[in-house]
């Protein structure tokens, strides 16, 4: 995945119409991609070894979107392969990449800082990422990333010096809800490093455990892979592969900041997907069913009234 331009490079690409396998990697522009499928052989645990289905008809595209709530679809009895449907549309991928490119990097309490706080305060849900946080309080806070529905703000705590009270009050408030992953690590870090008691927590790992009944420890990237079917390679670029992340080295590279922004945005997408497509799926279905039933009844009543009026004349 290129960190700036709207294109993606894929290995093991297969044309599903002609069954032709490309020997070399294929670089594709987002605008040329109609649909994406990640295919793995039965029993193969490496989902990152993927194939790409291209040039699908519009009819097939609509059919796939209608069935997008099915995570795994049988590819046929002959090849017995599992097809993993990508749970983000091309529009969402394009929007995501635009937001990643336009992240706001904050190193001082200037107008950009205050505009960010104003935007964050008006949200109902935000994604919160701290780097590094694996060792909880033993990690000195380097950066805090906050993603809203439209923007990503990356606060460089090493440059800022600390989490200031105005940002701290937002983190301690019940709203907006803070989407975190493995929230106990973030809570511990903020409490002991920044004297901030995080509140209003939506933990995507806890949510994933509830809907999947699988309590195996997973990183954010692995949970995104399992839920949204994005491969782990989506979080890699040539630069991040060459240079391991050094959280306390400054300046931070644009590729590293883009990766942090991408993780924050996808964490928010992950929470929305688990909440609305899985946890509240039956609720949304019943709401739609009741609404449609009401519309049918009202239509029948109006039709009966019209018939009576016609008889009168």
Helix axes 204-212, 254-272, angle to 10 degrees: 40
Give yes or no for residue 281 having a pLDDT over 60: yes
Return the pLDDT at 34. 63
The per-residue pLDDT for 300 is 64
pLDDT tens-digit readout, 9-22: 777 888 777 878 88
Lowest mean pLDDT among 22-36, 122-136, 138-152, 238-252: 22-36
Burial of 122 (0-12, 13-18, 19+ CB in 10 A): exposed
Determine the pLDDT at residue 9: 75
Task: For 46-65, write each residue's pLDDT tens digit.
Answer: 444 333 333 333 344 434 44
Give the pLDDT of residue 87.
Answer: 67
Residue in 218, 220, 211, 186 with CA at minimum distance from that of residue 200 = 186
**How many residues are listed for the chain in this entry?**
313
Pairwise CA distance, residues 53 & 10, whole Å: 11
Helices (H), the chain: 58-66, 90-101, 111-121, 157-160, 165-172, 183-193, 204-212, 220-228, 238-242, 254-272, 281-312
Task: Extract the tokens encoding 269.
Answer: 């997408």
Candidates 2.60.40.10, 3.30.499.10, 3.30.420.10, 3.40.950.10; correct CATH number of 100-279? Answer: 3.30.420.10
What is the predicted pLDDT for the residue at 36?
62
Judge whether residue 301 has pLDDT over 70.
no
What is residue 69's predicted lDDT score, i.e. its pLDDT? 38
pLDDT at 148 over 50: yes
Separation between Cα atoms, residue 50 and residue 13, nearest integer Å: 7
Q: pLDDT of 58-111, one tens digit each? A: 344 434 444 443 333 333 333 333 334 556 777 777 788 888 899 999 999 999
pTM of the shown model: 0.70
Please work out, in degrees rounded to the nearest 5, the angle formed at the alpha carbon of residue 35 by the alpha carbons of 19 and 1.
100
Cβ atoms 63, 38 nearer than 8 A: no
How sure is the predictor about 169, in pLDDT bands with cuts at 50, 70 and 90?
very high
* Residue 307: partners with Cβ closer than 8 Å, 6 or more residues away: none
pLDDT higher than 50, residue 291: yes
Which pLDDT score is estimated for 6? 57
What digits encode the pLDDT tens for the residues 199-254?
999 999 999 999 998 899 999 999 998 888 888 877 877 777 788 889 999 999 99
Which regions of the chain carry the CATH code 3.30.420.10? 100-279
Task: Quick: pLDDT tens for 19-55.
Answer: 788 888 877 776 666 666 656 554 444 444 333 333 3
Looking at residue 284, its pLDDT comes to 82
pLDDT at 67: 46
DSSP code for 88: S
Q: What is the pLDDT of residue 55?
A: 37
Joined tokens for residue 87:
């749970």
Q: What is the DSSP string of 15-61?
A: ETTTTEEPSS-EEEEGGG----EEEEETT---TTS-----S--HHHH
- Structure confidence at residue 242 (pLDDT): 81
82 or 312, which is more confident: 312
């Amino acid at each position: 995945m290129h960190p700036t331009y709207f294109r993606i490079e894929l290995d093991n690409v297969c044309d599903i119409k002609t069954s032709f396998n490309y020997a070399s990697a294929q670089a594709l522009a987002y605008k040329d991609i109609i649909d994406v499928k990640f295919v793995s052989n039965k029993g193969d645990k490496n989902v990152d070894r993927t194939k790409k289905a291209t040039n699908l008809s519009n009819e097939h595209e609509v059919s796939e979107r209608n069935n997008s709530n099915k995570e795994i679809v049988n590819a046929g009895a002959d090849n017995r392969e599992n097809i993993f449907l990508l749970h983000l549309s091309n529009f969402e991928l394009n929007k995501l990449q635009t937001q990643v490119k336009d992240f706001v990097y904050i190193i001082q309490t200037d107008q950009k800082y205050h505009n960010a706080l104003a935007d964050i305060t008006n949200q109902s849900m935000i994604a919160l990422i701290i780097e590094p946080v694996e060792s909880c309080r033993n990690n000195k806070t380097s950066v805090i990333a906050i993603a809203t529905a439209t923007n990503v703000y990356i606060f460089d705590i090493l440059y800022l010096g600390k989490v200031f009270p105005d940002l701290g009050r937002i983190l301690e408030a019940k709203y907006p809800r803070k989407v975190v992953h493995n929230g106990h690590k973030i809570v511990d870090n903020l409490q002991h490093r920044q004297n901030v008691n995080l509140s209003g927590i939506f933990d995507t790992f806890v949510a994933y455990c509830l809907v999947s009944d699988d309590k195996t420890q997973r990183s954010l990237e692995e949970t995104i892979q399992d839920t949204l079917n994005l491969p782990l390679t989506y979080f890699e670029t040539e630069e991040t592969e060459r240079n391991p992340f050094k959280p306390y080295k400054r300046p931070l590279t644009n590729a590293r900041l883009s990766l942090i922004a991408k993780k924050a945005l996808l964490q928010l997408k992950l929470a929305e997907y688990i909440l609305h497509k899985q946890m509240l799926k039956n609720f949304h279905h019943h709401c739609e069913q009741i609404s449609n039933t009401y519309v049918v009844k009202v239509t029948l009543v109006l039709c009966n009234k019209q018939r009576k009026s016609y008889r009168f004349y």
